[in-house]
Chains A and B, each alone.
Chain A
Amino acid sequence: MYPEAIARLIEALQKLPGVGPKTAQRLALFILSLPREEVVKMARAIVEAKDKTHYCRVCGNFSEKDLCSICLDKRRDAAVICVVQDARDIIALERMRDYRGLYHVLGGAISPIDGIGPDQLRIRELLERLQKSKVKEVILATNPTVEGEATALYLAKIIKPLGVRVTRLAHGLPVGADLEYADEVTLLRALEGRREL
């Protein structure tokens, strides 16, 4: 079929998430149609991103240095830590530009079926942070899935005895959208979590 070099490229591209044989083939042929310098730039970007990206020693966020830009930022409130499952959740939360505290990345959620327990997550590191610094509040921002919820409940159980305030993100309706477009489960959760005015 394809010469060996192209076949190898297609095979490599297929390892990407959401890319099947057909898409891989299309991407490979597209890459071949690019000027050589473009291709070199792309290949270099991949290798550099891999080589230069580390995880922040404290919070687990993506970082090029020992500590990430958020942990280094003196203007941020070190008394509040927001706990998330993945580093990409930080990007989402940072987009709102309203949260001034620090983060902690767990690297997943508790899931016995996948063999993931508290020891497989960065929970010990979180407890060390709570002991070392004066944290007043921990915000649990794990996903509202069964696993994310179990992780939040677990963390609440072990953090509360330390005298730290523990909060959880609310379930709710998407802001700015019409009520009629919300799905039934989201509506029910919003109804259950209703508040006094």
Chain B
Amino acid sequence: MVFVLHMEKLALHHFRNYKILTLTLDRNLNVFFGANAQGKTNLLEAIVFVASGRSFRTKRETELIRWEAKACQVSALIARGESTEKLQLLLSREPAKKTYFSAGKPVKRAHYLGRLLTVLFTPEDLAIIKGAPQQRRNFLDELISKVSPVFEAELQRYSQILRQKNQLLRTYGEKIFASPELASWNEQLARQGAKIITRRLFVLRRLNLLARLAHRRLTQGEETLELTYHSAVFLPEKNEEKEIEAALLAGMQEKSKQETKTKQTLVGPHRDEILPCINGVNARLYASQGQQRTAVLALKLAEMEFLKGESGEYPLLLLDDVFSELDSLRRKSLVEAIDGRVQTFLTGTAAENLTAFLPAGKFFSIHRGEVKLYAPH
């Protein structure tokens, strides 16, 4: 039997509505079910939090701490075959500070992140297909950040340069046109922007292959999904960083008059679009709700396979309230893709609606922050 990376135990202390909770998990499937607002999603949030150091629901992280507590902690016991690893994340309220622990010892954030990867699928993810370009850029950038520790820093540096240049445009407008000061910001922005676009194109090529495959399976070969990268400038065929940098710089110079007039930066990765097309047609605008759902599912499955390819291990898959919304064909394809390979966590309102389609696993009923093991049937 191939060993699967999985979470053996999850422990919460003063996290959201949980005072103290320890769960022994199934290596294949874990279902959290119950009425709304009982704390199902809080469990998925805890898993993402201990894995990535972030909440997918709030930017104000102190909200994660139970109201009367000073700090919260999430611990996870991770198993890889015979070996286990304990990850812990402590978040204090005053001052708001996170401390990362590995094997009980505090470690640097950079050394902690990336040890446990997750793929989350929520109803809001439909926005990856339907939403504004920024949603798709974020999807791709977050995916790259999961496997590349430097990418996040590169993105941050890009937006710092962008903020400075935009301020320059706002302060001086057309007076700054053709000045060496603007040129020096453009030069730096093009250099940093090229790093980002190069990386995006590289990952997108791999993701496209995997998404097309997953999508074909989901539509029984009837539809082809493709993500195409669109930039304000013509990107050279070979996607060499140096060439992209030159193209960006030329584009910025060309649009410089317009930029100083509108006082914003019109060229760069912050304006690029990653367009999803089904059978060559813009899926954002013309696909049906059902087609869009299938496309998102295909992207999530592709994300899983991509992370497997990059890190050698399948990530944990978290499905928040989406399983019940899939039709039987898609449920079947999803289960086929994950059963026995990917440890999965899913939430839903009623166990009965879920068991019929799901492989063996553990069912937990959630009621007002009380978690009980439940035997279906």
Residues in chain A within 8 A of chain B (CB atoms): 110-113, 115, 117-118, 146-147, 149-151, 153-154, 157-158, 183-185, 188
Question: B275 at interface (Cβ–Cβ under 8 A)?
Answer: no
In this complex, the interface size class of chain B, counting residues with CB under 8 Å from chain A, is 20 to 34
Q: Which residues of B contact A111 (CB under 8 A)?
A: 164
Distance between A99 CB and nearest chain B CB, rounded to angstroms: 25
A88 to B199, CA, bound (A): 38
A183 to B111, CA, bound (A): 10
A113 to B157, CA, bound (A): 15
Q: Is the CB of A112 within 8 A of B150?
A: no
Q: Is the CB of A112 within 8 A of B188?
A: no
Q: Is the CB of B184 within 8 A of A153?
A: yes
Q: Is the CB of B150 within 8 A of A157?
A: no
With A112-B171, A185-B153, A188-B150 known as contacts, the answer to whether A150 contacts B183 (CB < 8 A) is no
24 residue pairs bridging A and B, Cβ less than 8 Å apart: A110-B181, A110-B184, A112-B164, A112-B168, A112-B171, A113-B163, A117-B181, A118-B181, A146-B157, A146-B160, A146-B161, A146-B164, A150-B164, A150-B188, A151-B184, A153-B184, A153-B187, A154-B180, A154-B184, A157-B183, A157-B184, A184-B110, A185-B153, A188-B150
Distance between B115 CB and nearest chain A CB, rounded to angstroms: 15
Question: B123 at interface (Cβ–Cβ under 8 A)?
Answer: no
In terms of DSSP, what is the predominant structure of the interface of chain A?
helix
Q: Is the CB of A158 within 8 A of B180?
A: yes
Q: Is the CB of B181 within 8 A of A154?
A: yes
Identify the interface centre among A112, A113, A117, A147: most chain B CB within 10 Å of its CB.
A112
Q: Is the CB of A146 within 8 A of B188?
A: yes
Distance between A194 CB and nearest chain B CB, rounded to angstroms: 14
In terms of DSSP, what is the predominant structure of the interface of chain B?
helix
A183 to B153, CA, bound (A): 11
Distance between B114 CB and nearest chain A CB, rounded to angstroms: 10
Q: Which residues of A contact B185 (CB under 8 A)?
A: 150
Question: Whose C-beta in chain A lies nearest to the C-beta of B158?
Answer: A146
Distance between B151 CB and nearest chain A CB, rounded to angstroms: 10
Question: B104 at interface (Cβ–Cβ under 8 A)?
Answer: no
Q: Which residues of A contact B183 (CB under 8 A)?
A: 157
A113 to B160, CA, bound (A): 10
Q: Is the CB of A113 within 8 A of B184?
A: no
Question: B149 at interface (Cβ–Cβ under 8 A)?
Answer: yes
Question: B167 at interface (Cβ–Cβ under 8 A)?
Answer: yes
A158 to B179, CA, bound (A): 11
B window 154-179: CB within 8 A of A: 157, 160-161, 163-165, 167-168, 171
Q: Is the CB of A113 within 8 A of B167?
A: yes
Question: Whose C-beta in chain A lies nearest to the C-beta of B153?
Answer: A185
Q: Is the CB of B184 within 8 A of A184?
A: no
A151 to B150, CA, bound (A): 24
Distance between A148 CB and nearest chain B CB, rounded to angstroms: 11
Distance between A182 CB and nearest chain B CB, rounded to angstroms: 11
A174 to B375, CA, bound (A): 58
A184 to B183, CA, bound (A): 29
